[in-house]
């Protein structure tokens, strides 16, 4: 799960965030209140987000909770998140995994809210000792491109190309 966190931090450092989104704040405050934790402050994150924007992403917000004492049941975090989201948010992906060797549980929830030619996504990832909340706004053009050729888009953005003889 460290790779997801690194990806999210890199994506966050290259995006412009918009202030004043009630749903994002609602989810963050609900987690803080329910689990008795505070999200950490990432120095200069807002400043960094003013310079570079990935194609199709018009906004991104990030909250990271360290030293998180995760829920005993995965359904608990689902209830907390769903109760804090407003109308118009729909479950998109729910993944729950257990690592029998380490005894770690991980829950990833993705909710989508289509509105005004954009798709807002709320991504909540909870592990036994940390949690991350990300909201991003994707343009209709980017969504259509990703749906049309998802592999090609991913390869192009990563700087990799597959050739027919590979």
Mean pLDDT over residues 113-141, rounded?
88
**Between residues 160 and 151, which one has the greater pLDDT?**
151
User: Is the predicted pLDDT of residue 152 greater than 70, yes or no?
Assistant: no
pLDDT tens by residue, 25-66: 999 999 999 988 899 887 766 666 667 666 777 777 889 999
Output the DSSP codes for the chain: -HHHHHHHHHHHHTS---S--HHHHHHHHHHHHHHT--PBP-TTHHHHTTT---TTEEEEEEEEEES----SSHHHHHHHHHHHS-TT-EEEEEEEEEETTTTEEEEEEEEEEEETTEEEEEEEEE-SSEEEEEEEEEEHHHHHHHHH-HHHHHHHHHT----TT-
Q: What is the pTM of this model?
A: 0.71
**Between residues 44 and 122, which one has the greater pLDDT?**
122
């Amino acid at each position: 799960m460290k790779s997801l966190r690194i990806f999210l931090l890199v994506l966050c450092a290259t995006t412009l965030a918009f202030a004043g989104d009630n749903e994002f704040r609602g989810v963050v405050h609900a987690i803080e209140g329910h689990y008795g934790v505070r999200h950490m402050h990432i120095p200069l994150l807002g400043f960094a987000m003013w310079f570079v924007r990935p194609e199709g992403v018009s906004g991104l917000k990030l909250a990271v909770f360290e030293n998180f004492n995760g829920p005993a049941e995965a359904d608990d975090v689902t209830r907390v998140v769903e109760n804090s989201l407003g109308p118009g948010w729909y479950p998109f992906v729910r993944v729950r995994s257990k690592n029998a060797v380490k005894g770690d549980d991980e829950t990833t929830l993705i909710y989508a809210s289509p509105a005004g030619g954009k798709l807002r996504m709320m991504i909540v990832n909870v592990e036994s000792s940390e949690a991350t909340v990300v909201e991003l706004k994707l343009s209709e053009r980017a969504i259509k491109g990703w749906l049309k050729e998802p592999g090609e888009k991913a390869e192009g953005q990563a700087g990799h190309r597959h050739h027919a003889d590979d």
